[in-house]
Structure 1
Amino acid sequence: MQIDNNQLLRFTTAGSVDDGKSTLIGRLLYDSKSIFEDQLEAIESTSKRKGLEGVDLALFTDGLRDEREQGITIDVAYRYFTTPKRKFIIADTPGHIEYTRNMITGASTANVAIILVDARHGVIEQTKRHAFIASLLQIPHIIVCINKMDLVDFKEDVYEDIIKQFEGFSSKLTVRDVRFIPISALLGDNVVKRSENMDWYQGAPLLHTLETIHIGSDFNKIDARFPVQTVIRPQSDQHRDYRGYAGRISSGIFRTGDEITVLSTGLTSKIKSIDTFDGTLEEAHAPMSVSITLEDDIDVSRGDMIVRTKNKPESSQEVEVMLCWLNNESAKPRTKYLVRHTTNEQTAMIKEVVYKIDINNLTRSSEDTELHANDICKVKLKTTKPLHFDSYRENRNTGSLILIDPTTNQTVAAGMVI
């Protein structure tokens, strides 16, 4: 399979405290020669001041002052690097349970989740929690890196036992592709280069796996969805009759002549033209930004969604959503929030908390329905006007939403439509 050299792969790293996430990312950057000389010199200098013999690889990601003072990663640290085969964005997320919201933020756009497991401890509750979140976010690929193999004498039976532990749990999750790699991030075994200490492992090292894993398209190619961002009405005499609806295609393909319906009005028409800065197109697909004109002069405004008439999303004022509460303040019953879904923004409230999930053991509870920071739950939202949505499983763009506190303008929750 040929790999597109310009294809961008987003991956997130997760693991419990001290599993070596920052060291692993540092090793990836260091061994793939993706570090600028001045960065390397600064980190070498810092490592010497700390009395270390070699380079402290964790410093490549722990760049925030608070992280260094506390010795932990407390936010989502994004890093970018490129190899001859692919471009990458890394989201390094905290391992602590109180930072579940950070992991969901970092993993929400990921193609791959790397979950680290300490070879000495095996699969623990935090491993299960991270795997569950990856499943919840519909990340298509999980790579389980069994780290610190050097501390268990590179034993194959330790590796095989952890695979059995993880597979026994992950069989309950909706993850299509799970891979396992035994590594030592500190020494570099199976990170960029194959390990001579683990010749029993016949698979590829981590970087080669990331470079060659097939991620397909981030976008749903079937369901044509075009949330309108703005209406273009030029004032010049030359274009006075032009009325275009501009936005970014969320999914699918639009072609001139397509029969479309405008949601929420239900009015229908046909696509007259698809215009871009560089000229007119016969067809356009996600994630292109275009301006669409219609054959009929109908009412269309920001927040509406243009869809193909024979392929409409669901429309309802009541929506069931898996919600992660992000705010430090608890959710208040019957409080009105702003719900932002694609380009549409309107008032909504949490009508019912159906259940909360204990992400350590995946049990559901409908007794305690008060929402606190990092809680994950199933809720019923009631909106003032119908939302037009697909399930998150089918379409990440039209299946996701956020809740905003209208008094502070803070994002208080992120949701995935069931």
Structure 2
Amino acid sequence: MSTTNENSASKYLNMDLLRFTTAGSVDDGKSTLIGRLLYDSKSIFDDQMEAIEESSKKKGDEYTNLALLTDGLSAEREQGITIDVAYRYFSTPNRKFIIADTPGHVQYTRNMVTGASTANLAVILVDARSGVIEQTCRHSFISSLLQIEHIVLCVNKMDLVDYSEKRFKEIREEFRSFSSKLDVPDIHYIPISALYGDNVVEKSDNMPWYGGSTLLYTLENVQVDSDYNHVDSRFPVQWVTRPQSKEYPDYRGYAGKVAGGVFKPGDEIIALPSGFTSTIKTVETYQKEEEEVFQPMSVTMTLEDDIDISRGDMIAKPDNQPSVGQDIDLMVCWLNKEPLKPNGKYAIKHTTKDARCIIKEVKYKVNINTLHRVEGDKEIGLNDIGRIQIRTTEPLFYDSYNRNRTTGSVILIDEYTNETVGAGMIVKRD
């Protein structure tokens, strides 16, 4: 490989990454918007474009149907809706992107939760003709619940309201009124037409009254580094590495993904649950020792002392340890057609630790359109969100979800079918 190619590859690998999700009601144009982003940023292969153009011609579409770039399932193409979560990858000279195109239907709420669970930002589409509707509120609430700190409200189909500044401002004020109830610190408002590309990648000549940024510029420049918790040092151990090679006969490393804080050689650490302490000897990425590592880097850590640490243990700092407990409160999104069973037993996965748990109490269900608690109805079924309390067979080392999305999340698994039935966010006790 030439030096130029090596430098290009190195630059690409070290580029900042933004994960974002799209959400909106049916026919709000999510898939078309993503197709427009990919097309206008020149991230589509020629053969892909040719296939889409051919498909659009066969259907008699007036314009090339860019939504076909993301609606990959045959059922999606037939019905013209998004069913599953479609992931797409593209990059610009400034940033790499992973897009999760999520469904708008109520019955696919679980798919949206899946796609949004790792996102830094949510792009929520609103039809300029309809304005803020129940699905808008639901998707915004879920984004807030999942601690997505950046929302871009795209008022789409501005071409169908004559690019009206008055209509855009009405929708913006309507959403501001609702979003004041949410825990989202950073909200942007952009009027767009995904079909024609207005304010998606290039500024629109049809809306000279809009002085803000395009969608792509916003995505390229939104700051997400501060969204990670660099205060509370957390390192769930995924694997103990023992190469047993002649070069490293006594090597013992602890591999995993940093879930919070900063670790560097010389730091004092404590291993949980044993409580043994030691000092970090090295922190290593692939064939390289680092001066410091932080979330979300995948690393191998070696210690000065040979102490007992296994998969599922947690490495932290002695003066800043996670909560430890077996009685835990969760906000849970139910993902399975079989409803949650009060007093039911489930397998639970938290970071790298596997255990079992029992549902001690269902406290309430949330009406995700109004944000009100439903005290009387405690049956949590498919796509419902509610507050529950569980008791685990082993102590978990955790933080609240609003402090750390990694150490504050769990999944519940049906022990008989091995299906993931619930996604839980740990909350502080009232």
TM score, norm. by length of structure 2: 0.92
1:191 partnered with 2:200:
yes
1:79 paired residue number:
88
Q: Structure 1 residues 387 and 28 mapped into 2: Cα distance closer, same or farther (>3 Å)?
A: same
In 1, the alpha carbon distance for the partners of 2:245 and 2:213 equals 60
In 1, the alpha carbon distance for the partners of 2:288 and 2:37 equals 42
Q: Which runs of 4+ in 1 moved over 6 A?
A: none
Question: Is the CA contact 1:5–1:86 (under 8 Å) kept in the aligned structure 2?
Answer: no
1:175 paired residue number:
184
Q: Structure 1 residues 274 and 156 mapped into 2: Cα distance closer, same or farther (>3 Å)?
A: closer
Q: Which moved more, 1:385-394 or 1:37-46?
A: 385-394
Question: Is the CA contact 1:156–1:200 (under 8 Å) kept in the aligned structure 2?
Answer: yes
Question: Is the CA contact 2:147–2:184 (under 8 Å) kept in the aligned structure 1?
Answer: yes
Deviations 1:128-169 (A, max 9, x none): 111111111111111111111111111111111111110110
1:121 partnered with 2:130:
yes
Deviations 1:27-74 (A, max 9, x none): 111222211100110011011100123211211111211111222110
Q: Which moved more, 1:92-101 or 1:207-216?
A: 207-216
| Partner-residue secondary structure (3-state), 2:225 | coil
Deviations 1:157-203 (A, max 9, x none): 11111111101100010111111111111122111121111111111
Q: Structure 1 residues 163 and 289 mapped into 2: Cα distance closer, same or farther (>3 Å)?
A: closer
Question: Is the CA contact 1:5–1:84 (under 8 Å) kept in the aligned structure 2?
Answer: no
Which structure 2 residues correspond to residues 244-259 of structure 1 after superposition, within 5 A? 244-259=253-268
Which structure 2 residues correspond to residues 339-358 of structure 1 after superposition, within 5 A? 339-358=348-367
Tell me the amino acid that sits aligned with residue 392 of structure 2.
T
Tell me the amino acid that sits aligned with residue 173 of structure 1.
L
In 2, the alpha carbon distance for the partners of 1:245 and 1:25 equals 40
In 1, the alpha carbon distance for the partners of 2:93 and 2:251 equals 45
| Partner-residue secondary structure (3-state), 2:35 | helix
Deviations 1:267-315 (A, max 9, x none): 2222233345525444332333333333333322111101110110111
Question: Is the CA contact 2:149–2:227 (under 8 Å) kept in the aligned structure 1?
Answer: no
2:100 paired residue number:
91
Q: Structure 1 residues 353 and 54 mapped into 2: Cα distance closer, same or farther (>3 Å)?
A: same
In 1, the alpha carbon distance for the partners of 2:190 and 2:85 equals 24
In 1, the alpha carbon distance for the partners of 2:148 and 2:422 equals 20
Q: Structure 1 residues 381 and 192 mapped into 2: Cα distance closer, same or farther (>3 Å)?
A: same
In 1, the alpha carbon distance for the partners of 2:281 and 2:32 equals 54
1:40 partnered with 2:49:
yes
Tell me the amino acid that sits aligned with residue 243 of structure 1.
R
Q: Which moved more, 1:323-332 or 1:233-242?
A: 233-242
- Equivalent residue in structure 2 for 1:403, among 371, 394, 412: 412
| Partner-residue secondary structure (3-state), 2:208 | coil
1:104 paired residue number:
113
1:164 paired residue number:
173
Q: Structure 1 residues 17 and 257 mapped into 2: Cα distance closer, same or farther (>3 Å)?
A: same
In 2, the alpha carbon distance for the partners of 1:392 and 1:384 equals 21
| Partner-residue secondary structure (3-state), 1:67 | helix
Question: Is the CA contact 1:5–1:87 (under 8 Å) kept in the aligned structure 2?
Answer: no
Tell me the amino acid that sits aligned with residue 179 of structure 2.
S
1:139 paired residue number:
148
2:162 paired residue number:
153
2:334 paired residue number:
325
In 2, the alpha carbon distance for the partners of 1:191 and 1:279 equals 40
Tell me the amino acid that sits aligned with residue 221 of structure 2.
T
In 1, the alpha carbon distance for the partners of 2:126 and 2:41 equals 23
In 1, the alpha carbon distance for the partners of 2:325 and 2:277 equals 19
Q: Structure 1 residues 236 and 145 mapped into 2: Cα distance closer, same or farther (>3 Å)?
A: closer
Question: Is the CA contact 1:338–1:405 (under 8 Å) kept in the aligned structure 2?
Answer: yes
Matched length: 415
Question: Is the CA contact 2:244–2:250 (under 8 Å) kept in the aligned structure 1?
Answer: no
In structure 1, stretches of 5+ residues that fail to align are none
In 2, the alpha carbon distance for the partners of 1:328 and 1:68 equals 25
Q: Structure 1 residues 282 and 155 mapped into 2: Cα distance closer, same or farther (>3 Å)?
A: closer
Q: Structure 1 residues 187 and 341 mapped into 2: Cα distance closer, same or farther (>3 Å)?
A: same
1:365 partnered with 2:374:
yes
Q: Structure 1 residues 54 and 370 mapped into 2: Cα distance closer, same or farther (>3 Å)?
A: same
In structure 2, stretches of 5+ residues that fail to align are 1-12
In 1, the alpha carbon distance for the partners of 2:404 and 2:169 equals 36
Question: Is the CA contact 2:244–2:251 (under 8 Å) kept in the aligned structure 1?
Answer: no
Question: Is the CA contact 1:232–1:246 (under 8 Å) kept in the aligned structure 2?
Answer: yes
Question: Is the CA contact 2:76–2:82 (under 8 Å) kept in the aligned structure 1?
Answer: yes
